[in-house]
Amino acid sequence: LKRIIIVGGGYAGSMLARALDRAAEVVLIEPREAFVHNVAAIRAMVDPSLIDRMILPYDRLLVRGSVVRGRVTAIADGGVSLGDGRIIDGDVVVLATGSTYAPPFKPASDDMASFRAALLAAHEELRAARRVAIVGAGAVGTEFAGEIAAGMPGKVVTLISATHQLFPGFPAKLGTRLAHDLLTLGIDLRLGVTAARFDAAHPPVAGPLELSTGTAVEADLIIPAVGSTPAGDLARSIADARFDRSGRVVVDRWLRAAGRRNLFALGDVSATGDLMTIVAITRQAPWLARTVRAALAGRAIETLPPYKPWPAPPILIPLGKKAGASVLPVTRNGPVVGSWLTAAIKGRELFIPKYRKEFGLG
Ligand SMILES: Cc1cc2nc3c(=O)[nH]c(=O)nc-3n(C[C@H](O)[C@H](O)[C@H](O)COP(=O)(O)OP(=O)(O)OC[C@H]3O[C@@H](n4cnc5c(N)ncnc54)[C@H](O)[C@@H]3O)c2cc1C
C-alpha cells in the first residue's frame, strides 16, 4: 500500500484526504487542534453561537488514514520532517498549507481556545462600536458588511472598495447587484477609494480613517479585509521551488511543484490558475485524487489529463441570511443570480451542515 502524505488539513488537504482514504494510506499532517470552517467566521463575529459549530475535530474525518498533529518544517524526496523531529516517509507528498488571513477571519494560532477567545473579543468590539469601517470590498469585506447590517441593525457601516466596480473579475451584473443590495441594507459604500497610509499588517483600531480622496471616515472600529496571503514558508525551503507574484508556488500542468515527480501542491498555496477559494478546491481535489489513484495504479502522470482551472469561476456572496448575489458555474458569463438562490445555497447555513457531515458529526 502506498503512503500519501498531505501537509495541511484545511479545505484542500481534508477533501483530498477523504477522497484518497480508501485508495492509499493517507497521513494528514496538521498543527491545528481542529479544522476551522472559516466560511462561517464572518457571521460568527455577529452571532457567536456559530463558533462551536464551525470548529470540527479531525478524529472522525478518515476511516483508514491518520491525522498527525504537527507542523512540517522540511520536505525531502521520500517524505517530510516535523518541527518536533519526527520524520514521516511517503511515496507522494501533497503541499496544502493554504493561506493566512487577518485574525479572527482565520485563526492566528493552532489552539482552539485562543481562536474562540479571538472571535468572542471581536464580537464584543463589534457590539460596542457604533461606526464600523471595513477596508477592502472583496468577498470577505462585502459579506461582513452584509452580516453586520442584517444581524446588528443600527450601526453605521462603511465599506471601502479600491475599485469602482465591485468584484471586477466577474460578470459586471454581480458587482452591480451587490452594490444595489448593500445600499438597500444601508451600507455606506465608497467605490474607487483606498485608505491612505493604511498598514493592513498593523491596522489602526479606530478612526478617523483617512481616504485617498482627502476626506476621512469616522469609525469606532476598523476592520481590514484586504485578502489572503499564501502560506509559502514551507515551500520556500524546497530547493528549486518557484513562486508567482502573489507568493503561490509555481506548479506544472499536473500541479507538481519544484520539478519533483511526486510532490504536488493544492489549494491557496498553489499557483493553479484558480482564485484562492474553496470553490476552486472543489475542482482541484477530485482531479488530484483521480490523478494520484491512476499514478498508484502504475500510469505515468504525463499520460493523464492535466488540471484545467475554472474557465469562469463561480462565487457566492450572501449578505446575511436572506440577501446576496452569486455567479453559478453554468456558462461563461454566469448566470448571475440573486438573493433567493444565494440564500438557499449558502446564505442560510453557510455550508456548516455539509462540513459537519464530512467531519463525521451529525
Ligand atoms: C473569512 C473567510 C471566508 C471565506 N469564505 C469562502 C467562501 O465562502 N467560499 C470560498 O470558496 N472560499 C472562501 N474563503 C477562502 C477559503 O477559506 C480558502 O480558499 C481556503 O481556506 C483554502 O483552503 P486550503 O486548504 O488551501 O488552505 P487553508 O484552509 O488555509 O488550510 C491550510 C492548512 O494548512 C495548515 N498548515 C500550514 N502550514 C503547515 C505546515 N507547515 N505543516 C502542516 N500544516 C500546515 C494550516 O494550519 C491550515 O489548517 C474564505 C476565506 C476567509 C478568510
Which residue shows C-alpha cell 506548479? 251
Among protein residues, the one with the nearest Cα to ligand 1's atom 41 is 72
Cβ 182 vs Cβ 142: under 8 Å? yes
Cβ 137 vs Cβ 157: under 8 Å? no
Ligand 1 atom having least distance to the Cα of 266: 26
**Average pLDDT of the residues in 18-38:** 98
Q: Which residues line ligand 1 (CB under 6 A)?
A: 7-13, 29-32, 38-39, 41-42, 71-72, 96-99, 101, 105-106, 140, 231, 234, 267-268, 276-279, 281
Whether the pLDDT of residue 331 is over 80: the answer is no
Ligand 1 atom having least distance to the Cα of 228: 53
Distance (Å, whole) CA 134 – CA 173: 23
Alpha helices in 109-265 (DSSP H): 112-128, 139-151, 172-184, 233-236
What cell does 19 get? 477522497
Handedness of CA 110, 112, 118, 123 (dihedral sign): positive
Distance (Å, whole) CA 196 – CA 198: 5
Among protein residues, the one with the nearest Cα to ligand 1's atom 2 is 39
Whether the pLDDT of residue 320 is over 80: the answer is yes
Kindly give the distance from the C-alpha atom of residue 294 to the centroid of ligand 1, in angstroms, as a whole number: 27
* 3-state secondary structure at position 337: strand
User: How many C-beta neighbours within 10 Å does residue 190 have?
Assistant: 20
Beta strands at 156-161 and 131-135: parallel, antiparallel or unpaired: parallel
Ligand 1 atom having least distance to the Cα of 42: 1
Q: What's the pLDDT score for residue 77? A: 81
Cβ 166 vs Cβ 137: under 8 Å? yes
Kindly give the distance from the C-alpha atom of residue 306 to the centroid of ligand 1, in angstroms, as a whole number: 24
Kindly give the distance from the C-alpha atom of residue 186 to the centroid of ligand 1, in angstroms, as a whole number: 31
Higher-confidence residue of 334 and 40: namely: 40
pLDDT one-digit tens code per residue, 49-99: 999 999 999 999 999 999 999 999 999 888 999 999 999 999 999 999 999
Whether the pLDDT of residue 207 is over 90: the answer is no
Mean pLDDT of the chain, nearest integer: 96
User: How many C-beta neighbours within 10 Å does residue 237 have?
Assistant: 12
Closest C-alpha among 255, 246, 247, 244 to residue 280: 255
Q: What's the pLDDT score for residue 294? A: 96
Using 50, 70 and 90 to split pLDDT, how confident is the model at 334?
confident
Kindly give the distance from the C-alpha atom of residue 282 to the centroid of ligand 1, in angstroms, as a whole number: 13
Using 50, 70 and 90 to split pLDDT, how confident is the model at 40?
very high
**Average pLDDT of the residues in 112-130:** 98
**Average pLDDT of the residues in 271-298:** 97
Mutational pocket test of ligand 1: of 99, 134, 342, 349, the residue with most ligand atoms within 8 Å of the beta carbon: 99
pLDDT one-digit tens code per residue, 132-186: 999 999 999 999 999 999 999 999 999 999 999 999 999 999 999 999 999 999 9
Kindly give the distance from the C-alpha atom of residue 8 to the centroid of ligand 1, in angstroms, as a whole number: 9
Kindly give the distance from the C-alpha atom of residue 172 to the centroid of ligand 1, in angstroms, as a whole number: 27
Q: What's the pLDDT score for residue 201? A: 86
Kindly give the distance from the C-alpha atom of residue 115 to the centroid of ligand 1, in angstroms, as a whole number: 15
β-bridge mates for residue 334, sequence order: 331
* 3-state secondary structure at position 213: coil
Ligand 1 atom having least distance to the Cα of 234: 41
Q: What's the pLDDT score for residue 330? A: 83
Distance (Å, whole) CA 101 – CA 230: 9
Whether the pLDDT of residue 362 is over 80: the answer is no
Distance (Å, whole) CA 254 – CA 145: 38
Q: How far is CA 244 from the centre of its chain?
A: 18
Among protein residues, the one with the nearest Cα to ligand 1's atom 7 is 39
Kindly give the distance from the C-alpha atom of residue 298 to the centroid of ligand 1, in angstroms, as a whole number: 32
Q: 153: buried, middle or exposed (CB in 10 Å: 19+, 13-18, 0-12)?
A: exposed
Among protein residues, the one with the nearest Cα to ligand 1's atom 35 is 8
